[in-house]
Amino acid sequence: RRARLRSDSGIEEGQGQRNAVIAITDGHDNAIENSLFEAQNPRILNNLFPQTGSFLTFDQLLDGVMEAEALVYPVYLAGTNQNIYVSSSPGAAASPTTPANQNQARITETAERQLQELARVSGARMYTAERIEDLKGVFDQVAAELRTIYSMAYSPSNTNFDGKFRQIRVQVNRPGVALRTRRGYYAR
């Protein structure tokens, strides 16, 4: 089902609709890359990475996802991050052990971890595609999953709608059932 975008770039929920966002990304935040690589070799930085980055922190992004009534399915383009090594000096062979390349490995690990967390807090899951050609299979899997999602209603006993985040836990007593849920909700 479709979500409509509001003018403030939020997701406008349709009555009774299931909303999902598929984000195809390498997961790298250029703001992080720029700060780590700048100390290593600013001349190489300017040639490799654009001077842009996130305007939100990752925690702010997670808060927004927790407030949204949408599942977020990150599709991690893993093949775009493999073996990107920068030589430490002109004419020298690139090595994965240089400080710049160790930073690249840390950035990639952080990207994967953050995409997993993004999916988890929305109640979805992360997919991985090695190549662009793999995306069709990913889209088919997301579509199949969206057809098997159940919605549950919850009426809290605490009627103080103070805007605070409240955790909830859902348990299933049926063996073999996979369960992914949101961690909670904002009391509004």
Q: What angle do CA 13, 14, 15 make, to 5 degrees?
A: 115
**Per-residue pLDDT tens digits for 60-93:** 989 889 888 889 999 998 866 544 444 444 555 5
Residue 8 has what pLDDT? 45
pLDDT of 97: 64
Q: What is the pLDDT of residues 30-64, one digit of tens each?
A: 665 555 555 555 555 555 545 556 678 888 989 88
Q: Where are the alpha helices (DSSP H) in 1-153?
A: 30-38, 42-48, 58-67, 99-122, 135-146
Is the pTM higher than 0.75? no
Which residues share a beta bridge with 73?
22
Reported confidence tier of residue 3, pLDDT bands at 50, 70, 90? very low
Smallest Cα–Cα separation from 108: which of 90, 116, 177? 116
Element (H, E) at 129: strand 127-129
More confident residue, 96 or 70: 70
121-156: burial string, b at 16+ Cβ within 10 Å, e else: bbbbbbbebeeeebeeebbeebeebeeeeeeeeeee
Q: In this structure, are residues 37 and 30 in contact, taking their beta carbons and an 8 Å threshold?
A: no
